[in-house]
Amino acid sequence: MNNFTPGRPEPSEYPPYAAVYVDLVAGEQILSIFAAQLEQSTALLKGVDDRRASEFAYAPGKWTMKQILGHIVDTERIFAYRAHHIARQDAVMLPGFEQDDYVAAGSFNQRTLESLLEEFRTVRQSTIALFGNLPREAWLRQGNANKYSVTVRGVAFLAAGHELHHMKILREKYLP
């Protein structure tokens, strides 16, 4: 794994809607940020009651803790694929995805919280391996995902910010 730091992305490197996520990411050391999130997020959810994690939602129509964690895992997989696709200079435009459909089909509430945390660990470690082994020139490669122009660097920060966004919701609305 290399120690290259790609720096923060410019606003032109990710969709306008993603600024709210990217702005949550403090600093430039994206690989260290990914690793710290892995530790912090698993520690936050480790002691949560499994039944509560599958039944409690803070408002009607909101996801449970298990559904949020499953959504984070699904979305990180998609973001990592987008980054991989663009880093390898594949010019095909990548589609978006409907998060509510993914959550509905994920059956996350039927799983144990520990199995979801293990999957999160595995996916995050894979994300770290992907970004940690990219050549320098790959970070600024540009492609199209969900009808937006993005760079690999932009996608990395979007993935980190997306996780931060949902962990903040968990801390504020589910685990006060």
How confident is the model at residue 85, as a pLDDT? 98
Count how many residues are written for the chain. 176
How confident is the model at residue 43, as a pLDDT? 97
- Could you give the CA distance from residue 108 to residue 112 in angstroms, rounded to a whole number? 8
Which helix (H) or strand (E) segment holds residue 142: the answer is: strand 142-145
What is the per-residue pLDDT across 58-76, written as a single tens digit (0 to 9) for each? 999 999 999 999 999 999 9
In one-letter notation, the amino acid at residue 79 is F
In this structure, are residues 145 and 159 in contact, taking their beta carbons and an 8 Å threshold? no
How confident is the model at residue 154, as a pLDDT? 98
CA gyration radius for the chain?
16
CB atoms within 10 A of CB 60: 5
In one-letter notation, the amino acid at residue 173 is K
Tell me which of 3.40.190.10, 2.40.110.10, 1.20.120.450, 1.20.950.20 is the CATH number of domain 20-174: 1.20.120.450
How confident is the model at residue 3, as a pLDDT? 73
How confident is the model at residue 4, as a pLDDT? 79
Question: CA distances (Å), 60 to each of 55, 63, 64, in order?
Answer: 12, 9, 10
Place of tokens 């996520």: 21
Mean pLDDT of the chain: 97
How confident is the model at residue 65, as a pLDDT? 98
How confident is the model at residue 60, as a pLDDT? 96
pLDDT in 10s for each residue of the chain, 176 residues: 777 789 999 999 999 999 999 999 999 999 999 999 999 999 999 999 999 999 999 999 999 999 999 999 999 999 999 999 999 999 999 999 999 999 999 999 999 999 999 999 999 999 999 999 999 999 999 999 999 999 999 999 999 999 999 999 999 999 97
State both tokens at 111.
């799983």
pTM, to two decimals:
0.96
State both tokens at 143.
């492609």
**What is the domain partition of the chain in residue ranges?**
20-174
